């Protein structure tokens, strides 16, 4: 009978452990990586008094005198790209000796980590739990959760899951003017270099400003000063044939000569390239070669790269000394998705010597792009 009761007790303890682990994974799935949401928060979490820290520096770390014995800390606004670190305090209130279970330190995201000062606690003993979150890939509200699984030496006492949460708001470390860059088709055709003024919001003496474009069509020139500068942005027409929504990332980091810690701030400006349909000529001239069949005459082609939907979108003119020639044919052929060939057929070569400076082919695309090719008869 005693053996049966012991078996039932063991079964009950194991069932409680399984139930706690199931609830733990459910909580982590609810409060994992991503933006913070108050929906579904327990009343206990909502009632926690939050500590708000303004972004006066890039590495937010609380000191030993600023340890938090609650389970939730809100660091407020902190700079994107920085690393936030806070210390929680855990006390063993089970009345029995506790140790951390195998694989018992877990976090909700690879961007966060947990470090526990003491692995074993006597009854009433406390330990520090440091949670660190990297904000390199975060923008806006964040809410990261970690858990330490404590196991009592007395197996009759259920496993205890201590959950800690570090939240805040990752803000840009730069101010941009304009805050969104809009590039039009006219800007691209006129080869404009558009300007973005930027200002670093904190003093990072000696720190270089780095940039990275989000799309290969963008070309960037950086003119920087100690706290700010100018980004000159232009577009490579050959890589743009549709609306593009991309961004430019900018960041600075400097290593503290005493602590060795790297202070980093980041910023992102959105870039919109609107309705370009840019067409670029690939060939520089029209070379007309005689075809064997006398009824065909001379034939040649010019190549284009861009969005030329069909022949209705183009206007083709052949001129000799600014006088239009009507006795010719043309045909637009699609070679690839954005590569087209325009075939030109001329029944016969004009009399006399052909001056390539006067004999010209003009192609107008979408009423705003005009290409002028000299003509050579071969």
Is 6's pLDDT higher than 60? Answer: no
Instruction: Give the range among 54-68, 83-97, 192-206, 318-332 with minimum mean pLDDT.
Output: 54-68
Local confidence band at 270 (pLDDT 50, 70, 90 cut-offs): very high
* Percent with pLDDT over 70 in the chain: 74
- Helices (DSSP H) in the chain: which residue ranges? 2-30, 43-47, 185-189
pLDDT, one tens digit per residue, over 243-258 is: 889 999 998 887 666 5
pLDDT at 327: 84
Beta bridge partners of 175: 199
Handedness of CA 169, 170, 175, 178 (dihedral sign): negative
pLDDT at 368: 65
Local confidence band at 153 (pLDDT 50, 70, 90 cut-offs): confident
Local confidence band at 176 (pLDDT 50, 70, 90 cut-offs): very high
Handedness of CA 91, 94, 98, 101 (dihedral sign): negative
CA–CA separation, 337 and 285 (whole Å): 23
Query: Domains plus CATH for the chain?
Result: 2-171 (2.60.40.10), 174-273 (2.60.40.10), 279-377 (2.60.40.10)
pTM for the whole structure:
0.56
pLDDT at 195: 94
């Amino acid at each position: 009978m005693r053996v049966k009761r012991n078996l039932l007790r063991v079964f009950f303890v194991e069932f409680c452990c399984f139930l706690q682990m199931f609830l733990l994974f459910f909580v982590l799935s609810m409060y994992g990586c991503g933006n913070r949401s108050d929906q579904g928060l327990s009343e206990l979490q909502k009632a926690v008094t939050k500590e708000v820290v303004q972004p006066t520096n890039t590495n937010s770390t609380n000191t030993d005198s600023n340890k938090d014995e609650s389970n939730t800390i809100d660091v407020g606004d902190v700079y994107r790209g920085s690393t936030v670190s806070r210390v929680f305090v855990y006390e063993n209130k089970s009345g029995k000796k506790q140790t951390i279970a195998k694989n018992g330190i877990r976090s909700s995201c690879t961007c966060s980590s947990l470090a526990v000062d003491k692995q074993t606690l006597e009854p009433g003993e406390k330990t520090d739990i440091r949670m660190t979150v990297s904000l390199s890939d975060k923008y806006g509200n964040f809410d990261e959760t970690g858990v330490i699984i404590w196991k009592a030496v007395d197996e009759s006492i259920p496993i205890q899951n201590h959950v800690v949460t570090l939240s805040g708001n990752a803000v840009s470390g730069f101010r941009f003017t304009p805050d969104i860059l809009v590039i039009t088709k006219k800007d691209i055709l006129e080869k404009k270099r558009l300007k973005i003024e930027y200002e670093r919001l904190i003093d990072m003496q000696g720190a270089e400003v780095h940039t990275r474009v989000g799309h290969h069509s963008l070309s960037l020139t950086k003119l920087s000063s100690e706290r700010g500068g100018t980004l000159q942005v232009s577009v490579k027409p050959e890589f743009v044939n549709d609306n593009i929504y991309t961004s430019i990332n900018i960041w600075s980091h400097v290593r503290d000569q005493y602590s060795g810690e790297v202070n980093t701030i980041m910023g992102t400006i959105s870039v919109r390239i609107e309705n370009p349909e840019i067409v670029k000529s690939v060939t520089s001239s029209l070379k007309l070669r005689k075809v064997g069949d006398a009824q065909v005459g001379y034939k040649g082609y010019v190549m284009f790269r861009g969005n030329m939907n069909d022949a209705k979108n183009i206007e083709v003119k052949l001129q000799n000394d600014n006088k239009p020639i009507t006795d010719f044919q043309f045909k637009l052929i699609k070679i690839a998705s954005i590569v087209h060939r325009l075939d030109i057929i001329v029944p016969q070569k004009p009399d006399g010597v052909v001056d390539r400076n006067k004999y010209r082919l003009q192609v107008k695309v979408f009423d705003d792009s005009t290409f002028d090719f000299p003509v050579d008869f071969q």
